[in-house]
Amino acid sequence: MKKTIVASLAIAMLSTATPALAWGPIGHRISAEIAEQNVSGRTRAEIEKILGHEGLPEASTWPDEERSNPAPFWQETASPFHYVTLPEGRTADMLEHPPEGDAATALEQFTATLRNPDASQEDKALALRFIVHLVGDLHQPLHAGNGTDRGGNDFIVDWFDTQTNLHWVWDEGMILRQQLSYSEYAARIEPRISSEETVAWWDADPETWIGESAELRDRIYPGTSEEWGMGTAESPAVLRYRYHWDWVDTVEHRLAQAGVRLAAYLDWVFAPEAAE
């Protein structure tokens, strides 16, 4: 009975929590480290003018770290900035933005701040940290949610005997199973990115990233059955080694793409013609 009560409380906490973070700290830092290795020299100098000695990996997790900040900006304004909603069957060019904004509109706003010569150093630092973070967010498939289950937060799973949700499995679960630091993980992934892939992925259009994430999102939900679970609190979907084996390469692929796209986006933001 005690075990059942504890499990019920845990599920209640999961179901009432705010939407989970996109990629855990390690995932965000992996992509940011890859980006740092691929930005142009000019972009690197522009970043240093704004952030000083704070590197992109450190900047990448700051918007999540501030989510407990009681200031109204963090508790009200910035909360919707981490995801977009694209119902199944719609393409990225059909994305509708809610009045409170989303990751796509936030990216646009923060880009405008970086390009504004009259913006303060503090505002530019906030904008740059958010941009680094949001590019990573938009490459996590469940941050292009279908609008029905809070980006997989309501799809309950039994992950190696730990009850959690599908969103967390993609944010952190598969990454943490590698038992690598972000720098070790980036050092493993970055050399495997071919020149051809860098050229093919060098795309600064968020619509591309969102479309890819939504297409993946519709494929990563595990099959449900009475035997394997239904994705509910009473019957969580059972995920073990096979799910990890099936999808961990995709996780790493998206982290690599996010790193290359972040470099492409920052080079585009800081291009000389952008200031004209």
Task: Let me know: does 108 contact 205? Beta carbons within 8 Å.
Answer: no
Q: What is the pLDDT along the chain (276 residues), one digit of tens a residue?
A: 333 333 333 333 333 333 456 789 999 999 999 999 999 999 999 999 999 999 999 999 999 999 999 999 999 999 999 999 999 999 999 999 999 999 999 999 999 999 999 999 999 999 999 999 999 999 999 999 999 999 999 999 999 989 999 999 999 999 999 999 999 999 999 999 999 999 999 999 999 999 999 999 999 999 988 888 999 999 999 999 999 999 999 999 999 999 999 999 999 999 987 655
Protein fold of 2-275: P1 Nuclease (1.10.575)
Closest alpha carbon to 130 in 193, 165, 89, 80: 80
Where do the structural domains in the chain lie, given as residue ranges?
2-275
Note the pLDDT of residue 20: 52
Note the pLDDT of residue 5: 34
Closest alpha carbon to 168 in 38, 34, 10: 10
What is the reported pTM? 0.90
The owner of tokens 């009475």 is 226
Closest alpha carbon to 39 in 190, 251, 184, 171: 190
Closest alpha carbon to 138 in 255, 37, 266: 255
Task: Let me know: does 171 contact 24? Beta carbons within 8 Å.
Answer: yes
Residue 59 burial (C-beta neighbours within 10 Å; 0-12, 13-18, 19+): buried
Note the pLDDT of residue 226: 84
